[in-house]
Amino acid sequence: MVKELLVKIGLIYKQLTSRDFKVLNAIEKGMRRYEYVPLELIEKYAKMPEEHVVLVLSKLHRLKLVKRKTIAGYKSYRLTYLGLDMLALKNLVDRNVLVAIGDRIGIGKESEIFKGIAPGDKPVIVKFLRIGRTSFRQTRRVRSWADKPILDWYKQSKIAAEREYKALRELYRVGALVPAPIAYSRHVVVAEYINGVELYRKPQLPDPEKVFWSILDTVRIAYRDVGIIHGDLSEYNILVSIDDWKPYIIDWPQYHYRDEPMSDYYLRRDVEYIVRFFHKNYRVRVSLEDALDYVRGEDEEG
């Protein structure tokens, strides 16, 4: 495990002043044009005297918020993931989306998830997308939307967060069981906290068949009303609420559109995981074809 991951994001955030954020913002702006942003450009964007910028940069470097490189004799800087995290947090706090960030509650293939508090003491999750970070576990499935190698981690993670937020918004609007989306900034998505247990832990469900069909309802709404397919559906991306045993489908950034060429394949694979899991662990016996018919709505049209 990489050390940086164990750093308390909230503790670092608290050490930063508005001057520090000015410099972080300036580097971010420069990164639209440069991988490493020359010091001179940082000074220009930050509108701060050189001595101040240099002092701030050494603090940011010490906190591991920036990486340094000398390119053709020019001192240059770029944000690290942690640096980008700080900018996203600042934006969410300034917009009054977040009041506090707490402990890390999950770490997935391409994200870290923290618990947070929204105004009114509302518990939320703060999901930091970490696409293309080599220290992370290999992705199980290929992301068709992120195939372009020119996109670096920074852009990919921002695209992923925007995708996830927008998918959640569409799904939530039409009544699918997904965490309510709250906001996103850069590579970070804030959503409703579900007080639940991951399905892979095989919780004792009072009515497994009901949970099974409820999952298919969400898959069906996604497919028919929103026109998307999850693409990574499995017992790992389903949270069952321990208050009412409702299953929430999470983790949407890799979704596919219904009208893509491979969509039948993705839909079948998603549904097959669920059918198999419920068959094996809960003795729910529904055939894949019946489940697919239900999702596609062919039971009604026939």
Residue 143 binds what, of Mg ion, ligand ADP, none (CB under 5 to 8 Å, by partner type)?
Answer: none
Return d(Cα 235, Cα 162) in angstroms, integer. 24
Nearer of residues 45 and 81 to ligand ADP, judged by Cβ: 81
**Shortest spacing between CB 158 and ligand ADP, in angstroms:** 15
Q: Is 90 in contact with 19 (CB distance < 8 Å)?
A: no
Confirm if 197 and 211 have CB atoms less than 8 A apart.
Answer: no
The vertex-143 CA angle with 137 and 146, nearest 5°, equals: 105
Distance CA 263, CA 124 (A): 32
Q: Answer yes or no: are the C-beta atoms of 27 and 37 closer than 8 Å.
A: yes
Rounded Cα distance, 14 and 158, in Å: 24
| Residues lying near Mg ion in the complex (CB under 5 A) | 108, 237, 251
Query: For residues 38 and 108, which CB has a smaller minimum distance to ligand ADP in the complex?
Result: 108
Residue 108 Cβ vs ligand ADP, minimum distance, rounded to whole Å: 2
Q: Which does 27 bind (CB under 5 to 8 A by kind): Mg ion, ligand ADP, none?
A: none
**Contact positions vs ligand ADP (CB under 6 A):** 105-106, 108-111, 113, 125, 127, 179, 191-194, 198, 237, 239, 250-251
Of 108 and 208, the one with the shorter C-beta distance to ligand ADP is 108
Nearer to ligand ADP by C-beta: 37 or 146? 146
Q: How far is the CB of 115 from ligand ADP (least distance, A)?
A: 8
193 binds, among ligand ADP, Mg ion, none (CB under 5 to 8 A by kind): ligand ADP
Shortest distance (Å) from residue 198 CB to ligand ADP: 5
What's the closest the beta carbon of residue 92 comes to ligand ADP, in angstroms?
A: 16
Tell me the residue nearest to Mg ion as measured from the CB: 251
Contact partners, residue 19, CB within 8 Å, separation at least 6: 48, 52, 56
Binder of residue 111, out of Mg ion, ligand ADP, none (CB less than 5 to 8 A by kind): ligand ADP
Secondary structure (H, E, C), 167-231: HHHHHHHCCCCCCCEEEEECCEEEEECCCEEEHHHCCCCCCHHHHHHHHHHHHHHHHHHHCEECC
Q: Which residue has the tokens 């199980």?
A: 140
Comparing CB distances to ligand ADP, the nearer of 189 and 221 is: 189
Q: Which of 232, 259, 290, 299 is catalytic?
A: 232
| Binding partner selected for residue 105 from Mg ion, ligand ADP, none, CB under the kind-specific 5 to 8 Å limit | ligand ADP
Catalytic (active site) residue 293: no
Q: How far is the CB of 266 from Mg ion (least distance, A)?
A: 16
Q: Environment class of residue 176 by beta-carbon count within 10 Å: exposed (0-12), middle (13-18) or buried (19+)?
A: buried
Residue 215 site contact among ligand ADP, Mg ion, none (CB < 5 to 8 Å, cut-off depends on kind): none
Residue 263 main-chain phi, psi, to 5 deg:
-60, -35
Of 16, 34, 14, whose CA–CA distance to 154 is shortest? 34
Q: Specify the residue, 163 or 296, whose C-beta has the smaller distance to ligand ADP.
A: 163
105 vs 112: CA distance, rounded Å: 8
Mind telling me the catalytic residues? 232
